[in-house]
Amino acid sequence: MLLVEDNDINQEVAIGLLEDAAIEVDLAENGEIAVRMARENDYDAVLMDMQMPVMDGIEATRVIRSDPRFQNLPIIAMTANAMATDREQCLKAGMNDHIGKPIDPDQLFSVLLRWTGRGRLKLLWESPIGS
Protein backbone atom coordinates (compact mmCIF):
# COMPACT_ATOMS: atom_id res chain seq x y z
CA MET A 1 0.00 0.00 0.00
CA LEU A 2 1.19 3.51 -0.72
CA LEU A 3 0.51 6.13 1.96
CA VAL A 4 0.78 9.71 0.69
CA GLU A 5 0.93 11.97 3.73
CA ASP A 6 3.11 14.93 4.71
CA ASN A 7 2.26 15.20 8.43
CA ASP A 8 4.54 13.21 10.76
CA ILE A 9 1.82 12.41 13.31
CA ASN A 10 -0.66 11.30 10.64
CA GLN A 11 2.08 9.17 9.08
CA GLU A 12 2.73 7.46 12.42
CA VAL A 13 -0.94 6.75 13.09
CA ALA A 14 -1.71 5.43 9.59
CA ILE A 15 1.45 3.33 9.32
CA GLY A 16 0.85 1.90 12.80
CA LEU A 17 -2.71 0.85 11.96
CA LEU A 18 -1.73 -0.65 8.61
CA GLU A 19 1.33 -2.47 9.92
CA ASP A 20 -0.69 -3.85 12.86
CA ALA A 21 -2.90 -5.43 10.18
CA ALA A 22 0.20 -6.90 8.47
CA ILE A 23 -0.08 -4.51 5.51
CA GLU A 24 3.21 -3.44 3.95
CA VAL A 25 3.33 0.34 3.63
CA ASP A 26 5.48 2.64 1.52
CA LEU A 27 5.44 6.36 2.36
CA ALA A 28 5.44 9.31 -0.02
CA GLU A 29 5.58 12.74 1.62
CA ASN A 30 3.95 14.60 -1.28
CA GLY A 31 2.08 13.99 -4.50
CA GLU A 32 5.10 14.31 -6.74
CA ILE A 33 6.89 11.51 -4.90
CA ALA A 34 3.66 9.45 -4.95
CA VAL A 35 3.41 9.70 -8.74
CA ARG A 36 6.99 8.48 -9.11
CA MET A 37 6.50 5.65 -6.61
CA ALA A 38 3.23 4.54 -8.26
CA ARG A 39 5.06 4.29 -11.59
CA GLU A 40 7.94 2.30 -10.08
CA ASN A 41 6.01 -0.12 -7.83
CA ASP A 42 2.94 -2.32 -7.80
CA TYR A 43 0.46 -1.21 -5.11
CA ASP A 44 -2.87 -2.71 -4.09
CA ALA A 45 -4.16 0.74 -3.08
CA VAL A 46 -3.13 4.33 -2.40
CA LEU A 47 -4.18 6.37 0.63
CA MET A 48 -3.88 9.99 -0.53
CA ASP A 49 -3.93 13.16 1.54
CA MET A 50 -5.48 16.16 -0.22
CA GLN A 51 -3.32 19.04 0.94
CA MET A 52 0.44 18.64 0.66
CA PRO A 53 3.37 20.76 -0.48
CA VAL A 54 4.97 20.35 -3.93
CA MET A 55 1.95 18.52 -5.47
CA ASP A 56 -1.37 18.07 -3.69
CA GLY A 57 -3.38 14.86 -3.66
CA ILE A 58 -5.91 16.08 -6.22
CA GLU A 59 -3.24 16.79 -8.84
CA ALA A 60 -1.29 13.63 -8.00
CA THR A 61 -4.45 11.56 -8.49
CA ARG A 62 -5.10 13.19 -11.86
CA VAL A 63 -1.54 12.43 -12.98
CA ILE A 64 -1.71 8.82 -11.77
CA ARG A 65 -5.11 8.31 -13.43
CA SER A 66 -3.77 9.69 -16.73
CA ASP A 67 -1.70 6.51 -17.05
CA PRO A 68 -3.92 3.67 -18.34
CA ARG A 69 -2.08 1.17 -16.10
CA PHE A 70 -3.66 2.80 -13.06
CA GLN A 71 -7.31 3.05 -14.13
CA ASN A 72 -8.29 0.33 -11.63
CA LEU A 73 -5.86 1.22 -8.82
CA PRO A 74 -7.90 2.13 -5.74
CA ILE A 75 -6.99 5.67 -4.65
CA ILE A 76 -8.64 6.66 -1.40
CA ALA A 77 -8.60 10.17 -0.01
CA MET A 78 -7.54 10.27 3.62
CA THR A 79 -7.98 13.84 4.70
CA ALA A 80 -9.16 16.22 7.38
CA ASN A 81 -11.18 17.97 4.68
CA ALA A 82 -14.49 16.27 5.41
CA MET A 83 -17.03 18.58 3.78
CA ALA A 84 -19.23 17.24 0.98
CA THR A 85 -17.52 19.56 -1.52
CA ASP A 86 -14.12 18.09 -0.56
CA ARG A 87 -15.44 14.57 -1.12
CA GLU A 88 -16.87 15.59 -4.49
CA GLN A 89 -13.54 17.17 -5.46
CA CYS A 90 -11.71 13.93 -4.58
CA LEU A 91 -14.13 11.78 -6.57
CA LYS A 92 -14.01 14.17 -9.55
CA ALA A 93 -10.19 13.91 -9.56
CA GLY A 94 -10.45 10.13 -9.82
CA MET A 95 -10.29 8.95 -6.22
CA ASN A 96 -12.50 6.00 -5.37
CA ASP A 97 -13.49 6.91 -1.83
CA HIS A 98 -12.91 9.31 1.07
CA ILE A 99 -11.82 8.66 4.68
CA GLY A 100 -11.85 11.48 7.19
CA LYS A 101 -9.22 12.31 9.79
CA PRO A 102 -8.80 11.55 12.58
CA ILE A 103 -8.70 8.03 11.22
CA ASP A 104 -11.41 5.63 12.37
CA PRO A 105 -9.79 2.17 12.09
CA ASP A 106 -13.12 0.45 11.33
CA GLN A 107 -13.83 2.89 8.51
CA LEU A 108 -10.27 2.60 7.18
CA PHE A 109 -10.34 -1.19 6.96
CA SER A 110 -13.91 -1.30 5.69
CA VAL A 111 -13.04 1.06 2.83
CA LEU A 112 -9.81 -0.80 2.04
CA LEU A 113 -11.68 -4.10 2.00
CA ARG A 114 -14.35 -2.66 -0.29
CA TRP A 115 -11.81 -1.46 -2.85
CA THR A 116 -9.16 -4.17 -2.65
CA GLY A 117 -11.30 -7.23 -1.95
CA ARG A 118 -8.33 -8.82 -0.18
CA GLY A 119 -9.19 -11.97 1.76
CA ARG A 120 -6.24 -11.52 4.14
CA LEU A 121 -7.36 -7.98 4.93
CA LYS A 122 -10.89 -9.25 5.61
CA LEU A 123 -9.62 -11.82 8.08
CA LEU A 124 -7.42 -9.28 9.86
CA TRP A 125 -10.14 -6.65 9.97
CA GLU A 126 -12.77 -9.01 11.35
CA SER A 127 -10.55 -10.37 14.13
CA PRO A 128 -9.21 -8.25 16.98
CA ILE A 129 -5.69 -7.07 16.20
CA GLY A 130 -3.12 -8.60 18.48
CA SER A 131 -5.21 -11.52 19.66
Q: What is the C-alpha to C-alpha distance for residues 21 and 125, in angstroms, rounded to an integer?
A: 7
> Is it the case that residue 1 has pLDDT exceeding 70?
yes
What are the φ and ψ backbone dihedral angles of 112, each rounded to 5 degrees? -60, -40
Q: What is the pLDDT of residues 94-125, one digit of tens each?
A: 999 988 888 888 888 889 888 887 644 544 44
Which pLDDT score, from 0 to 100, does residue 131 have? 39
Q: What is the pLDDT of residues 45-102, one digit of tens each?
A: 999 998 888 999 999 999 999 999 999 999 999 877 666 777 888 889 999 998 888 8
Continuous segment of H or E residues that includes residue 112: helix 105-116
pTM to 2 decimals? 0.86
Cβ atoms 2, 46 nearer than 8 A:
yes
